[in-house]
Amino acid sequence: MRPYDTVIFDLDGTLLDTLGDLADSTNYALALHGLPARTPEEVRQFVGNGVARLLHLAVPRGTPPELEARCLADFRAHYLLNMEHRTAPYPGILELLDRLRAQGIQTAVVSNKFDGAVKGLCLTYLGERIPVAIGESPNVARKPAPDTVFRALEELGAARERAVYVGDSDVDIQTAQNAGLPCISVSWGFRDAAFLTAHGAQTIADSPAALWALLSGGKE
């Protein structure tokens, strides 16, 4: 018997490589206000806790709150119009999702990216493979609170007892713990295996094929 009936995925760094577009929109907002640019590697370390946290870390320390708020607003506006230039699914992800769907395993996405971007990216890159996509909004607490996970399970009509959470960060590990779900961490995203292990990861998949084996109880 397969181990899971439902898989709740993180989005950025798990299903989609969004780093290039995130870095571009971050640096657009910073440049608009005469602030120094950030490297893609710096942006990689800033993501995971929502775009407000991303911009808070990206602006120089001591930036006035009102200027930071303007940077955040400019980032959001730019990103919504430019989030599909350099973003793509990681190699093997579409095949993984197709295999899950063929086996009747339900899937959803929960993300700390703002809700409009989450739904738009899932529709563009993942299509019908992901029927439920939930992002940050005033109506639900963001990760590591378990609220988005619970909402996804409710919308799917899925039981928590047969569900698993898959993500690429320490925030995802905490989210799974808070939701009472087992967690599979992936090492191809924004955090490597050493970081994930240091932050409590118990199970790590190094490729979508390895993840399929863990999700299906079968072989790669």
Q: Catalytic amino acids?
A: 10
CA–CA gap between residue 122 and residue 39 (Å, rounded):
26
Q: Helix axis angle, 19-32 relative to 51-58, nearest 10°?
A: 60
- Beta-sheet pairing, 88-89 with 16-17: antiparallel
Q: How far apart are CA 20 and CA 30, in angstroms?
A: 15
Sheet holding 132-136, edge to edge: 132-136, 106-114, 6-9, 163-167, 183-186, 204-205
For 74, the token pair is 């400019």
Return d(Cα 60, Cα 194) in angstroms, integer.
Answer: 28
